[in-house]
Amino acid sequence: MTFDTELVGKIGSMALIDKADHLIDYTRVARISRELKPGYVWISSGATEIGRLDFLARNGYELSGENAKTDYSAQGQTILMQTYRQFVDPRYSVRQVLVEHQHFNDAEKCEHLKSLLLRCREQNAIPIVNYNDAISNEENRRMEIMALAQTTGKRVFECVDNDETASRIACLVHARFLLIFTSVDGIYADPDDPKTLIPVISGKDCYELMENVEEKKSYCEGASRAGANGAKAKLEYVKDAAAQGTTVFIANAKFTIADVLSSRAPSTKIGIGLKG
């Protein structure tokens, strides 16, 4: 199978934050940044939380009200991009790409985004993608999503969750690998028992694979451990990418990209025809 992009990767907000010091985890960002290269598309959450921590450190109080997320995001984006630019190999350009739901629900905008991301590879650049929280109004967005669903009758993508954004981009650029970095090692049969990590979810074809993914989603129902329900959402979001032939990894952000892709680090690997 031919792929247009080597890797689409995503890291979540909490995996980017040093909880003890309430700061961006510069060591982790530096490690990831040094592995990024042309042919990779990187989706990075974290702007809102980083902006909140930066505002709190500078002002001694937190913002309140419906606009707090907007203001934090606008402040955090500058820090997030500055940090990636500091550690990415200086031979490569770094390009910020902010997206919203319409970029995945409008065919012309979707094609424009795809072209932009594929040009980055040819132009020695690494795109860093995030949802554009700084100018996104939740109420308007939900009304737009509802209107799209009603008028088009088609499946509509919201993409506020960057797991969904990463999967949509993996489909868009036909990625060989989709890596979802999180704060745990993968998907567990028992969310309360780290020894029950599921190393592989596969099937002989996309239909059997989807059946097996649905089965594993049931393990996350009613889970008591924090983050387990997020695991269910991850499995739902990555289905389309896995069905098109992309190999998906859900892994802990404490490991390197190279170690996850080579199976030297634990993860849950999802794809067609994989060996257990």
Its pTM stands at 0.91
**Cβ-proximal residues to 203 (8 Å cutoff; 6+ apart), any chain:** 209, 210, 211, 212, 272, 273
**Cβ-proximal residues to 85 (8 Å cutoff; 6+ apart), any chain:** 94
122, 147, 182: which is the final residue of a domain? 182
- Tell me the C-alpha distance between 93 and 112, whole Å: 20
Encode pLDDT of 191-234 as tens digits. 888 899 999 999 999 999 999 999 998 888 644 344 455 888 99
DSSP calls for 150-206? HHH-S------SHHHHHHHHHHHTTEEEEEEEESSSS-BSSTT-GGGB--EEEESSH
H helix intervals, 88-106 = 102-105
Report whether 64 contacts 70 (CB < 8 A). Answer: no
Report whether 195 contacts 187 (CB < 8 A). Answer: no
Encode pLDDT of 230-245 as tens digits. 888 999 999 999 999 9
Furthest-apart CA atoms within the chain: distance in Å? 56
Q: What percent of the chain has pLDDT over 70?
A: 92
Q: What is the mean pLDDT of the chain?
A: 90
pLDDT of 139 reads 63
Residue of 38 and 219 predicted with greater confidence: 38
Checking if the pLDDT of 20 tops 90, the result is no
pLDDT of 225 reads 42
Encode pLDDT of 143-186 as tens digits. 766 776 777 777 777 777 899 999 999 999 999 999 999 989 99
Q: Say if residue 170 is in the same domain as residue 276.
A: no
For range 19-46, the mean pLDDT? 93
- CATH number (domain holding residue 100): 3.40.1160.10
Report whether 213 contacts 195 (CB < 8 A). Answer: no
Encode pLDDT of 122-133 as tens digits. 999 999 999 888
Q: Say if residue 174 is in the same domain as residue 269.
A: no
For range 13-36, the mean pLDDT? 90
pLDDT of 150 reads 73
Q: Say if residue 98 is in the same domain as residue 208.
A: no
Q: Say if residue 109 is in the same domain as residue 226.
A: no
pLDDT of 260 reads 98
Q: Say if residue 247 is in the same domain as residue 199.
A: yes
Report whether 97 contacts 125 (CB < 8 A). Answer: no
- Tell me the C-alpha distance between 14 and 11, whole Å: 9
Burial class (CB in 10 A: 0-12, 13-18, 19+), 126: buried
Map tokens 């387990």 to a residue: 228
Q: Say if residue 54 is in the same domain as residue 160.
A: yes
144, 161, 182: which is the final residue of a domain? 182
For range 103-122, the mean pLDDT? 94
Q: Say if residue 11 is in the same domain as residue 69.
A: yes
Domain residues for 239?
A: 183-276
Residue of 231 and 111 predicted with greater confidence: 111
Q: Say if residue 155 is in the same domain as residue 204.
A: no
Number of helices (H), then strands (E), belonging to the chain: the values are 11, 10
Map tokens 């239909």 to a residue: 207
The packing angle between helices 68-87 and 47-59, to 10°, is 100
Q: Say if residue 164 is in the same domain as residue 264.
A: no
Q: Say if residue 189 is in the same domain as residue 176.
A: no
Q: Say if residue 175 is in the same domain as residue 219.
A: no
133, 162, 182: which is the final residue of a domain? 182
pLDDT of 229 reads 54
Sheet holding 5-11: strands in order across? 93-99, 125-131, 40-44, 5-11, 175-182, 247-252, 267-272, 200-203
Report how many domains make up the chain: 2
Residue of 1 and 24 predicted with greater confidence: 24
Three-state helix/strand/coil letters over 27-65: HHHHHHHHHCCCCEEEEECCHHHHHHHHHHHHHCCCCCC
Q: Say if residue 169 is in the same domain as residue 252.
A: no
Residue among 143, 149, 227, 142 at smallest CA distance from 185: 227
Checking if the pLDDT of 15 tops 60, the result is yes
